[in-house]
Structure 1
Amino acid sequence: MASHGILLVDKPAGLTSHDVVARVRRAFGTRKVGHAGTLDPMATGLLVIGIEGATRLLTYIVGADKTYTATIRLGARTTTDDAEGDIVDTADATDWASVDDEAVSAGIRNLTGTISQVPSSVSAIKVAGKRAYDLVRAGESVELAARQVTVSRFDVLSQRRAEGFLDLDVIVDCSSGTYIRALARDLGNALGVGGHLTALRRTRVGGFEVTDAVGIDALEGAATLTPAAAATRVMPALDVTAEEARDLRHGKRLVGQRDRLQAAEVAAIDPAGFLVGILEARGHDIKSAMNMPEVQA
């Protein structure tokens, strides 16, 4: 039987997130596998995979903040806001006349903090039940609504100038739902030269780091994080007694104990070190919002 756990995978370029899930299913011998946040085929980096009962945790991981490294190419617009699309416009010498280091820095500052962002039209967002990127590929015009996101860090690590282009290697810390392709597009548009992504790598999801991930060819026998270890990377832990664990698993409340919660959601850990479930306040009480299977090995 497959273990209940969280597996960290370093996705290579060229594979979809679904491809990775399919390989994990084969490696672990179970159909019950999911992931906490899609990566485009062009992108590399961290995929957080849930196996068996640990798939229940993915809901609490998918909204975690994230870190990406990326290369933004200024000087050209593409149909997909990344290098996989067709170039539709390039900047000329006149366009570049006012684009100096200060202009680039100012453009980045304007895209830092809490901002309103229109996702790329080739995103996985559903429109009338269909993925936006499927509609675009079918030749339909897609307009997505702006959403509020938070970019807490947007730093340039290095830059390279070539004839007609300026490549920026950047690192971005952002809230869930932020599109790095849209940052590249919007920076290029603000500077009047266009922009798109040529590389994207996710290095962190909440408390999970890509340095702890396994490669796609090392899935067989790969170690997983226990549900308890994984849950406590994204929320505080609350130790509960064996009696409390039994009551929570049976749907009972811990009456009048709301003050024990350190956050809106906490991970209840029983005396054996197993994850009982995710707890939340209900009035003055504590109740389990999600229970884990009692057998987690």
Structure 2
Amino acid sequence: MGGIVLVDKPGGVTSHDVVARARRALGTRKIGHAGTLDPMATGLLILGVDEATRLLTYIVGLDKTYEATIRLGVATDSDDADGAITATTDAAHLTSAAIAAAITPLTGRISQVPSTVSAIKVGGRRAYDLARAGEEVELKARDVTVSRFDVVRERTTTASPTGGAVVDLDVVVDCSSGTYIRALARDLGASLGVGGHLTALRRTRIGPFDVADAASVDAIAEAPLRTPAAVAGSVLGRLEVTADEARDLRHGKRLAGAADRIPGGTAAAIDPHGALVGIVERRGADLKSAMNMPEEQTR
């Protein structure tokens, strides 16, 4: 019935490359992922295999944690190290206090303009394709939440093309889905008047899933396959249902007056055999299936 695989993506490959490797390793074409990582980025990539691809929509919107390095004093056209340098400014005068003060407005609920070189679609085309074709790209600001933006290490070196000093910040960021860490680097550098870009990025957490539990791309075939029931239960919470209730949900019937059996708006319905029936959601006082697993896949 498939399942979920946690993979530690290396740098220099795309998320699609990892999916292609997984298709060969696991012998199936039906594999997707819950959130792209840029080629330069490393870290946690969550793959859905076969019927478990249906669960990816419930994973992609989870909060995430990143470890990153931001270079202050150099700006690039992609807001990361893969882009061309557009400006350099000596950052030797920056103090820790000034950096901390500039980070404060970039935490909490903020309005962020995504990086131009992003996967957002504009008129049906990816923004990065438009930018690489030399077309002007204007992306709308979006509200995101940055719940943690901590500097864990700060160092000043002479490394810019003009010989001026740059300041490298190793940071940890907890944020909502849709947050661009490259944009945080860009906006922090702009606020300080020296420019900034991302030189390293590693995703360490998506919701309850941690990169410490992920397999390397060379070990995907041997990686543990997390069952749909275990994954959906950890993400949405479990609703234990009887055999009769499981049958009713699979047949599209509601569980009358059962809304108070789940604490939130959705939950994973688990049958007496421990299999995932599907995802249920509140409809007034009732519960109704929002997504069902194929019955033959739950045994």
**TM-score greater than 0.5 by the shorter chain:** yes
Equivalent residue number for residue 270 of structure 1: 271
Q: SS of 2:235's equivalent?
A: coil
* Structure 1 stretches of at least 4 aligned residues deviating more than 4 Å after TM superposition: none
Aligned-pair distance for 1:282?
Answer: 1.1
Are 1:53 and 1:296, in contact at CA under 8 Å, matched by a contact in 2?
Answer: no
Aligned-pair distance for 1:293?
Answer: 2.1
Equivalent residue number for residue 60 of structure 2: 62
**TM-score if structure 1 supplies the norm length?**
0.96
Mapped partners of 2:15, 2:84: distance in 1: 23
Equivalent residue number for residue 151 of structure 1: 146
Mapped partners of 2:152, 2:122: distance in 1: 36
Equivalent residue number for residue 178 of structure 2: 177
Question: Is it true that 1:106 corresponds to 2:101 in the alignment?
Answer: yes
Are 1:206 and 1:234, in contact at CA under 8 Å, matched by a contact in 2?
Answer: yes
Residues 255-292 of structure 1: CA distance to partner in whole angstroms, max 9, x if unpaired? Answer: 12111121111111111111111110112210010001
Aligned-pair distance for 1:100?
Answer: 1.3
Mapped partners of 1:191, 1:182: distance in 2: 14
Mapped partners of 2:169, 2:14: distance in 1: 25
Partner AA of 2:47 in structure 1: I
Mapped partners of 1:214, 1:19: distance in 2: 15
Mapped partners of 1:17, 1:45: distance in 2: 11
Equivalent residue number for residue 161 of structure 2: none
Q: SS of 2:236's equivalent?
A: coil
Equivalent residue number for residue 186 of structure 1: 187
Aligned-pair distance for 1:195?
Answer: 0.3
Q: Which runs of 5+ in 2 are unaligned?
A: 159-164
Mapped partners of 1:96, 1:194: distance in 2: 13
Instruction: Give the percent of matched residue pairs that are identical in Structure 1 and Structure 2.
Output: 67
Q: SS of 2:11's equivalent?
A: coil
How many pairs are equivalent?
A: 292
Equivalent residue number for residue 199 of structure 1: 200
Aligned-pair distance for 1:219?
Answer: 1.2
RMSD: 1.0
Mapped partners of 2:14, 2:267: distance in 1: 32
Are 2:236 and 2:267, in contact at CA under 8 Å, matched by a contact in 1?
Answer: yes
Mapped partners of 1:31, 1:84: distance in 2: 31
Mapped partners of 1:276, 1:13: distance in 2: 37
Question: Is it true that 1:141 corresponds to 2:136 in the alignment?
Answer: yes
Are 1:44 and 1:200, in contact at CA under 8 Å, matched by a contact in 2?
Answer: yes
Equivalent residue number for residue 291 of structure 2: 290
Q: SS of 1:232's equivalent?
A: helix
1:226-265 to structure 2, matched below 5 A, reads 226-265=227-266
Partner AA of 2:59 in structure 1: I
Q: SS of 2:263's equivalent?
A: coil
Aligned-pair distance for 1:222?
Answer: 2.0
Mapped partners of 1:120, 1:167: distance in 2: 20
Question: Is it true that 1:29 corresponds to 2:41 in the alignment?
Answer: no
Aligned-pair distance for 1:296?
Answer: 4.2
Residues 85-122 of structure 1: CA distance to partner in whole angstroms, max 9, x if unpaired? Answer: 01110003xx654x211110011111010000000000
Q: SS of 2:247's equivalent?
A: helix
Q: SS of 1:64's equivalent?
A: coil
Equivalent residue number for residue 7 of structure 1: 5
Equivalent residue number for residue 49 of structure 1: 47
Mapped partners of 1:296, 1:85: distance in 2: 47
Mapped partners of 1:184, 1:121: distance in 2: 13
**TM-score if structure 2 supplies the norm length?**
0.96
Partner AA of 2:88 in structure 1: T
Equivalent residue number for residue 20 of structure 1: 18
Equivalent residue number for residue 122 of structure 1: 117
